[in-house]
Amino acid sequence: MTREDFAAAGWLPWSIVGFDTLGRPDRTLYLRMPRLYEKLFGKGAMSQVTLAGLLASVLVACSPVRSLVFTLGVFLTLVSGLILQVRCVYGGDGAQQMNTILGFSLLIGFNGWISPLAGVVALGFIAAQICLSYSVSGIAKLMSSLWRSGNALPQILSTTAYGSLRAYKFLERHTTLARLLCNATVIVEVLFPVLLISPKGLFLAFLIWGLLFHISLAFLMGLNTFVWSFIATYPALYFVWELAHSALLPKWKLLL
């Protein structure tokens, strides 16, 4: 996404996206002060919000955890993400929601005024959310005859919004591979929570699958924001996996 996407000739102009206030609680305020909303959500404002979020992310990456600078960076990143979530209502809902979960979790669990135990709870919450996200998505696919038949991926890739002509034609010629990819995606997503109690080799295999999965979606479907938002949860998964195995390992040894 670039600043030109928010321009009048872009694919997310406020003159069009503004109609989506119809179902929002601030609809009345928008009708009373349309110029204010134009200033808040126009191209110039969105450019500033995006830049602020980028600079805040650099602060988070470069500052010590729990420091004032880290907390400020997390706060600004969260605010910019929330503004973008209000402004951009198409194509990135899952990534935006995950970014919000990450932002609130880091802000609450890793600020300098709270017990370190809150950080442990925050990481556990993030891990639970990402496992739930994958498994619910997998269950939904499992209930779909389109995914079970192996036709889902070719049909998705044939669309204009999320498609790739080359990938579509390739899977159309290789129906067995298409079916294999569909079934593998469903199985891995449904079983994703199992990785928290799995051996390390299987755990790493799940994470590598997730990385390759989101990178492929970024290249084929343009869902590039999912790479950063979902992969950012993997350190929390690793922390919880380590915590679970440190508690379970002595009991497994007794059973053996």
Residues ≥6 apart with Cβ < 8 Å to 106: 60, 74, 122
Confidence (pTM): 0.82
- Each domain of the chain, given as residue ranges in start order, spans 1-90, 115-256
- The confidence score (pLDDT) of residue 254 equals 47
Q: Residue 24's pLDDT is what? A: 63
| pLDDT in single tens digits along all 256 residues of the chain | 566 666 666 666 666 666 665 556 656 666 667 677 777 777 777 778 888 888 988 888 889 988 899 999 999 999 888 887 777 666 556 788 888 899 999 999 998 888 888 989 999 999 999 999 999 999 999 998 889 888 888 888 888 777 778 888 888 888 899 899 999 999 999 999 988 888 989 999 989 999 998 898 888 887 778 888 899 999 999 999 988 888 655 554 544 4
Give the pLDDT score at 225: 80
Rounded distance, CA 219 to CA 217, Å? 5
User: ∠ CA(110), CA(134), CA(74), 5° rounding?
Assistant: 20
Angle separating helix axes 175-191 and 200-221, nearest 10 degrees: 130
Helical residues (DSSP H) of the chain, grouped into ranges: 14-17, 27-32, 34-41, 43-62, 68-87, 93-109, 116-142, 145-149, 152-157, 165-173, 175-191, 200-221, 225-231, 234-255
Closest C-alpha to 49, from 101, 14, 85: 85
CA distance 147 to 89: 26
The pLDDT of residue 90: 60
